[in-house]
A and B are shown apart, each in its own frame.
Chain A
């Protein structure tokens, strides 16, 4: 699958700046390039991230505003022109009342009427904030009449996703927008250097090592989360 068709509206629901880009930017860009309007709900500003840039240029107190600017830059690269910040705090999303987090997501869903909602695949997001946010997103979607519900595209972070969830429902080839995808990822400068320095080294090295990394970068996987009720 190397192309997507314009859909009514794409809604992204993630807890941290960079979640919307790492592993998903290519797909988002394919949708927005096809003319799909997109909204991003970002739960926190990743205030408790441990990556401070390398060499460090952020500290615990400057990190939130730096990550907010990085997120705005990434949104430009993604073609997402509607950013909603919930103002929750990093690492604490799972301790909030999920119904109240769902209230805020539901309000946006009713406003923008998404046809697709992208979030982490419930329970398989690894980070507790990921799972809390996807849980709240599912609660919000469940409140809608069945015919108005967006399709939930879930990203799984667990290492053995395919053995747990089976083959992904969508595997997108994003090689046609790889430059734009890398721009979105690199916009998260404070996080990118720490998380992807080895990948950058492999890209610079060339040959089979580079090809392997490129194959991973150009393939994005999604599993449809089906609501049982």
Chain B
């Protein structure tokens, strides 16, 4: 991934507007946040392969960035985004990393379902 370039990410987001899109949305402070890092609790939420459609997409802020996706009846939101990548399959990956490179938040958009595991991909190849 590379540091977010606002214009590139804005253009990438807009390519998904109006279509059925598979969403990966995630935030985490680490499974050992409470055990080893002195925080009150480990917090994590993720959706993998939520099928969504949005009518407006906007990146905002200065590093780190926020992204809001406006749906007909709701919002998708992520804060703390630092890096992005459009991979070889045209999927948009956005992530927020802390100073030690650990992922804290991710928002990813794809026209095809996100794989559920490397083993699944192998089955498809067979």
Q: What is A's interface to B at a CB cutoff of 8 Å?
A: 44-45, 47-48, 50-56, 59-61, 64-65, 68, 85, 87, 89, 91, 126-128, 157-159, 193-194, 197
Contact assessment for A50 and B116 in the assembled complex, using a CB-CB cutoff below 8 Å? no
Q: Which residues of B contact A64 (CB under 8 A)?
A: 117-118
Contacts of A61 in B (CB 8 A): 87, 91, 93, 108, 114-115
| Any A CB within 8 A of the CB of B40 | no
Q: Would A89 and B95 count as touching, CB distance under 8 A?
A: no
Determine the chain B residues whose CB is within 8 A of the CB of A55 once the complex forms.
Answer: 101
Known: A48-B46, A89-B116. Contact between A60 and B106, CB under 8 A? Answer: yes
Residue of B nearest to A64 (CB): B118
Chain A residues near B100 (CB-CB < 8 A): 54, 194, 197
Q: In the complex, how many angstroms separate the beta carbon of B121 from the nearest chain A beta carbon?
A: 9
Q: Which residues of the other chain, A, contact B64 by a CB distance below 8 angstroms?
A: none
Contact A60 B120 (CB under 8 A): no
Contacts of B93 in A (CB 8 A): 59-61
Cα distance, A87 to B117, chains bound together (Å): 7
User: What are 8 A-to-B residue pairs whose CB atoms are below 8 Å?
Assistant: A45-B117, A51-B103, A52-B97, A59-B85, A91-B31, A126-B31, A126-B32, A193-B101
Chain B residues proximal to chain A, CB less than 8 Å: 1, 24, 26, 28, 30-32, 35, 44, 46, 83, 85, 87, 91, 93, 95, 97, 100-104, 106, 108, 114-120
Residues of B within 8 A of A194 (CB): 100-102
> Which residues on the B side are within 8 Å of A65 (C-beta)?
118
How far apart are A9's CB and chain B's nearest CB, in angstroms? 24
* Pairwise interchain contact A56-B97, C-beta atoms closer than 8 A: yes
Task: Tell whether, in the assembled complex, residue B118 and residue A48 are in contact, meaning their CB atoms are under 8 Å apart.
Answer: no
Enumerate chain B residues within 8 angstroms of A60, measured Cβ to Cβ: 24, 26, 93, 95, 103, 106, 108
- Contact at A56–B1, with CB atoms within 8 Å? yes
Which A residues lie within 8 Å of B117 (CB)? 44-45, 47, 64, 87, 89
Q: How far is the CA of A47 from the CA of B115 in the complex (A)?
A: 11
**From B103, which residue of chain A is reached at the shortest CB distance?**
A50
Contact A53 B101 (CB under 8 A): yes
CB contact between B35 and one of A45, A51, A126 (< 8 Å): that residue: A126
State whether A157 touches B103 (Cβ < 8 A).
no
